[in-house]
Amino acid sequence: MVESESVLAQEQGAVARGKWSLPGDGAWWMFLTAEFGTLCMFFVVFAFMRSAAPEEFKAAQALLDPRLALANSLILMTSGYCMARGLHSMRIVRSGASPAFRWVLAAALLGIVFVVIKSSEYGDKFELGLTFSSGTFWFFYFFLTGFHYLHVLLGIGFLFWIALRVRNKPLTPELQVQTESCGAFWHMLDLVWILLFPLLYLL
C-alpha cells in the first residue's frame, strides 16, 4: 500500500512537472518576475525624470564611460552563453563529470570580471565626489546599477555552488531544476543590464 502510494506520488509529480513549460522552479520564476517588474517601474520613473531635466541628465551622463559599459555588456552576454552551454551539456551528458562544470565555472568567472570592471567604475565616480546625493541622475545611476551589481554577486555565488554540485554529483531531477533556476536568474541579469546600458550610458 505504501509502495503504491509512493509510485502514485511520483507519477503525480511527473505530471505536474510536465505541465510546467518553463525551465526551473515555478516559484523562482514568480520571484524573478517580481524583481524585473520592480526594476521596470524604476526605469519608467527615470525616463520621466530625465524628460523633466534633460540638460542636467545629459551633463551627468557625459561623466560616464560607455566603453566600460559596452565591455561589461559583452562580458555578461558571453557569461550567459556559457551558462546556456552548461545547461545544454548537462541535458546531453547527464553526468556529474561533464563539460557542464567547465561551462558554469566559466560563466561565474566572467561574472567576476564584470564585477571588477564595475567596481573600478564606482571607484572613479567616488574619487570625483559623486554619490547618491549628487543629483537625480546619480541617485538613479547608483541605485539601478548597484541593485544589479548586488544581484550579480548573488548570482556568482549561485553559479559556483551549481558548478561544484554538477562536478561532484550525478544529475538528478532536483539538480537539473536548481541549475535551470540559476540559469534563469543569470539570464535575467543579462536582460536587465541590456536595458540599463542604453538607458544610463547612451540615450
pLDDT in tens, 41-66: 888 888 888 888 888 888 888 899 89
**Containing structural domain, residue 82:** 24-50+66-202
Residue 1 lies in a domain: no
DSSP output for 149-201: HHHHHHHHHHHHHHHHHHHHS---HHHHHHHHHHHHHHHHHHHHHHHHIIIII
Whether residue 162 is predicted with pLDDT greater than 80 in this model: the reply is yes
Residue 114 lies in a domain: yes
Q: Residues for the chain: how many in total?
A: 203
- The number of folded domains in the chain is 1
Residue 141 lies in a domain: yes
Q: How many CB atoms lie within 10 A of CB 29?
A: 17
Instruction: Identify the CATH number of the domain in which residue 36 sits.
Output: 1.20.120.80
Residue 19 lies in a domain: no
pLDDT in tens, 74-92: 999 999 999 888 888 777 7
Residue 12 lies in a domain: no
Residue 60 lies in a domain: no
The average pLDDT across 159-175 equals: 79
Residue 167 lies in a domain: yes
Q: Report DSSP state, residue 43.
A: H
Residue 3 lies in a domain: no
